[in-house]
A and B are shown apart, each in its own frame.
Chain A
Amino acid sequence: MNPLAEVIADMPDDATRGTLSDPAGWLDAHGDSLYRFALQRVRDPATAEDLVQETLLAAWHAKSKFAGKSAERTWLIAILKNKLIDHLRRSRREAPLPDADIADEVVDSMFAEHNGHWVRTPAAWSRPDDALEQAEFWKIFQACLEALPARHAQAFNLSEIDGLTTDELCKVLEAQPSNVWVMLHRARLRLRECLELRWFGLASENR
């Protein structure tokens, strides 16, 4: 389930019904939910507060378009999501991350040049669910995430955590779909390999 769907599923029934109220009413009824949704994605309270404000203003301007078919909070979250994408795109312009290299040697070296087969076949990971319960695993997981090239990591987080679609990723990263998919592929394969080298490959020796 994507995060947006989770937020909606978490809503109590009375929040999913009801008529369109005024902006102050939205703030009372949904302010905290919108704030949490934003805070989980921008990490900065002041920015998250600004996004809530922008969302409520935009909703007020667009309220004639609210069909009343979707729940009020669902509608507000959808607006917030667009505001978030705009925000991420703006901050990327202000502090651009280095462009993904055309070639990624780390990933290219995982496959044989002549036939594209794995150079080292991915190992069978023993009891991966057990790893999730171990503090030591999470240290390695974090180290592996931090080892990703910045732009790959950003694409990976936006896709896996925030559930952005390819179209939305293209907007935020200002890249073509094929480039977005290549970045995600590289991020996932690098992360996979890092975990295998630093955790799962050692499983038989350590545990």
Chain B
Amino acid sequence: MLSCKEVSLLLSRSRDQRLTWRERLGVRLHLLYCEGCRRLEKQLRFLHAAVRRFVASAGPAADARLSEDARRRIRDALPRD
């Protein structure tokens, strides 16, 4: 049986890579009887949503545009067809 520590690592890894069926099975079995790890699974999803929202609100404006200067500089550096 997997420990909470192992399951927490697998739950974290599953956000980045698909687990093998054996790993998924081990995690699902563990979650059946472990409330703490079930909460962790939900909370990892929350962290993802929260950090995306944090960056969207704190990050550079969604309407940022290349300045005319930058545009000219880049155009001059490009080959002409």
The 5 closest A-B pairs by CB, nearest first: A116-B3, A116-B5, A121-B36, A22-B81, A23-B78
Report A114-144 CB contacts with B as 1/0, cut-off 8 Å.
0111100111110010001000001001100
- Chain B residue contacts of A60, Cβ below 8 A: 78-79
Complex contact B4–A111 (CB within 8 A) = yes
- With A138-B54, A184-B16, A189-B12 already in contact, 20 other A-B pairs whose C-beta atoms are closer than 8 Å: A24-B75, A24-B81, A27-B71, A31-B71, A32-B65, A40-B55, A43-B60, A45-B70, A49-B74, A116-B4, A118-B4, A122-B37, A123-B39, A145-B54, A157-B51, A159-B16, A160-B47, A185-B9, A185-B12, A192-B40
Chain B interface residues (CB < 8 Å from chain A): 3-6, 8-9, 12-13, 15-17, 35-37, 39-40, 42-44, 46-55, 57, 59-60, 62, 64-66, 70-71, 73-75, 77-81
Determine if A39 is an interface residue (Cβ-Cβ < 8 Å).
yes
Q: Given A32-B66, A117-B4, A40 and B51 touching (CB < 8 A)?
A: no
Contact of A122 among B15, B39, B52, B75 (CB under 8 A): B39
